[in-house]
Amino acid sequence: MAAELIKGLPIAKEIRVEIAKDVEALKAKGVEPTLAVLLVGDDEASVVYAQSKVKVGDGLGVKVDLKVMAADASQEAVLGQIKAWNADPKVHGILVELPLPKHLGKEAIMEAIDPKKDVDGVHPVNRGYLLGGQEHLALVPATPLSCVALMERAGIDLTGKRVTLVGRGDTVGRPLASLLIKRNATITVCHTRTKDLAAECQRGEIVVAAAGFAGLVKKDMISPGATVIDAGINATPDGKGICGDAAPDVEEVAAKMTPVPGGVGSLTTTIIMQNTIKAIGLQGLGK
Amino acid sequence: MAAELIKGLPIAKEIRVEIAKDVEALKAKGVEPTLAVLLVGDDEASVVYAQSKVKVGDGLGVKVDLKVMAADASQEAVLGQIKAWNADPKVHGILVELPLPKHLGKEAIMEAIDPKKDVDGVHPVNRGYLLGGQEHLALVPATPLSCVALMERAGIDLTGKRVTLVGRGDTVGRPLASLLIKRNATITVCHTRTKDLAAECQRGEIVVAAAGFAGLVKKDMISPGATVIDAGINATPDGKGICGDAAPDVEEVAAKMTPVPGGVGSLTTTIIMQNTIKAIGLQGLGK
């Protein structure tokens, strides 16, 4: 029997309705939600992501101020732009599209962003609030938040569930671990050095694949009835499309599964807008 | 057969020899390692911990500047003291003994400490470096570091090991999870909402007990041959001594085990001194 698909778009739409209401309320109080996006160079995926933010923001009444800098922009120029946005009370969210050109110092740039405007959750202070269990103060990266939103809004109760995370990266695996612990799941974090990945996955009532390897999670690694959340975004072998970390036939054993494309990735831009609204609250505006 | 005990004191002594060498080298370069400790009120355990720091520092050549404030000290007075230490280039480490009297705002006080002097690892920036995998930049809380030091110095290779953590607190469980992921262990984090704690512990080649409940980890929950690291510090029923989270008879099945007292807790003050040396490096001194 094929798994019930947990599709991203309907859930994104649901969240967008909530955001649109928040935007309306903020505008009535004189706050025009504004997200500043910095794109350095012309990395193909980054251009698409940046444009998607402009479009989604447009539909929600969130102003997206997209600034494009040349691929050879200096560290000083990038930091100067961030400082200007930090100081601008009309800018509520700041996001730098990654990856950055290699000559730029990524860490210093991430740390230059005002933590209260850091809607991508890349500043150490925001990661620290997350690890410290102070999620209400934290701006959290969009992909792990999307994974949680998909599960919660698909009616999956996380309390006491055994969740196997495949992947320990700093953008998905580790922040997601903190989110899930907070939601009372019993988590196991697996990675390239895990001895028996199949056994760890088979124990999972929920398996989250976030390793960045196409087809890593195979059908025989999933217990019948499990939920599979696929946060992988990989190029297909022919280079023409994208696919997840779970092999396609996982769908034959899982009870519920997020598709790729059309699952986790369909939510992230919406979550960035939700983070922008949260940022406005953290800045003490709109009250 | 009784477990081989991994005792804290010999390992603490080993680390102290290393610290003493670092102190000597720093003093030759004109840096006198100095740790400032703030004790507000007269919580009995806190007084003991503070005095222990003075004594251990003394033996290592680390100057410990213990400042005692009355239990009714104001938030402003506490913050003022921290700011003075932040600004003092002769103070390299700052530690506020916890718990603080209830009228004080703990979070604001923790966040007031210069992250590069935060030898107790309580500032969100330090937690964030840890979650972000930038451990080299982070000052990490002493208890999880002690757990790791005990395992590593007892010759236990963490790579690929299944480690069950019992406890998800912000001072031990969650920071320790990050440290262990970085060291290639496959970790499972358990807590009060975990459905079958016994089964999770039985899978652990290493079990770390850090829940703060005396005797929570029982003999039948440990697989023969496993290593048990007991980070619990609980009062014994008669109130006269301390005991760990593992029941005493766990020793009959574990291959290796840390005693309580005399295990993890015997290392923490030494680790604070080690953090003070690391802090000096993070401040760019002694180079």
Split at pLDDT 50, 70, 90, the class of A239 is confident
**A169 among the known binding-site residues?**
yes
pLDDT above 70: residue A283 = yes
Residue with tokens 């440990």: B222
Cβ pair A242, A261 in contact under 8 A: yes
Cβ pair A223, A212 in contact under 8 A: no
Contact present, B86 and B114 (Cβ < 8 Å): yes
| pLDDT (0 to 100) of residue B88 | 98
Cβ-based contacts of B177 with chain A (< 8 Å): 177, 189
Task: For tokens 């290593």, name the residue.
Answer: B227
Nearest-by-CA chain A residue for B168? A181
The complex's ipTM works out to: 0.95
* Fold category of A32-114 in CATH: Rossmann fold (3.40.50)
Is the fold of B29-114 the same as that of B142-265?
yes
pLDDT surpassing 90 at residue A30: yes
Look up residue B31 and give its two tokens. Answer: 């840096």
Domain boundaries, chain A: 32-114, 142-266
Neighbours of A223 (CB within 10 A): 15
**pLDDT category of residue B287 using cuts at 50, 70 and 90:** confident
| B19 marked among binding-site residues | no
Q: What is the DSSP letter of B239?
A: S
Beta carbons within 8 Å of A278's beta carbon, 6+ residues apart:
A139
Which of A64, A62, A66 has its CA nearest to residue A22? A62
pLDDT per position as a tens digit, B61-83: 999 999 999 999 999 999 999 99
- Residue of B2, B3, B1 lying closest to B227 (CA atoms): B3
Residues A159, B193: contact at Cβ < 8 Å? yes
How many angstroms separate the first and last alpha carbons of chain A? 50
pLDDT, tens digit, 9 for 90 and up, residues A254-268: 999 999 999 999 999
* Residue A154 clears pLDDT 90, i.e. is over it: yes
Q: Is B127 helix (H, G, I), strand (E, B) or coil?
A: helix
Nearest to A19 by CA among A61, A49, A52: A61
Which CATH number describes the domain made up of B142-265? Answer: 3.40.50.720
What confidence tens digit (pLDDT) does each residue in B112-139 have? Answer: 999 999 999 999 999 999 999 999 999 9
For chain B, the average pLDDT equals 97
Q: Stretch A26-43: mean pLDDT, rounded? A: 97
Of the residues B188, B190, B191, B203, the best mutation for testing chain A's interface (the one with the most A CB atoms within 10 Å of its CB) is B188
CB–CB contacts below 8 A, A to B: 107
Distance CA A81, CA B265 (A): 48
Which residues on neighbouring strands pair with residue A178, listed in sequence order? none
Question: Residue A66: pLDDT above 80?
Answer: yes
Is 80 exceeded by the pLDDT of residue A88?
A: yes
Residues of chain B with Cβ-Cβ distance to A133 below 8 Å are: 170, 174
Rounded average pLDDT over B17-35: 98
Whole-number pLDDT of residue B1: 67
Q: Which residue shows structure tokens 């036939």?
A: A249
pLDDT at position A1 is 67
Contact A181 B200 (CB under 8 A): no
Q: With CB atoms and an 8 Å threshold, state whether B128 touches A123.
A: yes
- pLDDT at res. B192: 96
Residue A59 clears pLDDT 80, i.e. is over it: yes
Architecture of domain A142-266: 3-Layer(aba) Sandwich (3.40)
With CA atoms as reference, report the closest residue to B41 among B29, B54, B50.
Answer: B50
Comparing C-alpha atoms, which of B280, B210, B283, B222 is closest to residue B249? B222
pLDDT for position A287 = 84
Give the span between the Cα atoms of B145 and B142, in whole angstroms: 5
> How would residue B152 be classed by pLDDT, with cut points 50, 70 and 90?
very high
Average pLDDT, chain A: 97
Annotated binding-site residue? B167? yes
Does the bond joining B261 to the residue before it have cis omega, within 30 degrees of 0? Answer: yes
Out of 3.30.565.10, 3.40.50.1820, 3.40.50.10860, 1.10.10.10, the CATH code matching B29-114 is: 3.40.50.10860
Q: Residue A9: is its pLDDT beyond 80?
A: yes
A166-194 tens-digit pLDDT: 999 999 999 999 999 999 999 999 999 99
CA A91 to chain centre: 21
Average pLDDT over residues A137-141: 98
pLDDT, one tens digit per residue, over B187-245 is 999 999 999 999 999 999 999 999 999 999 999 999 999 999 999 999 998 989 999 99
10 Å CB burial of residue A157 (0-12, 13-18, 19+) is exposed
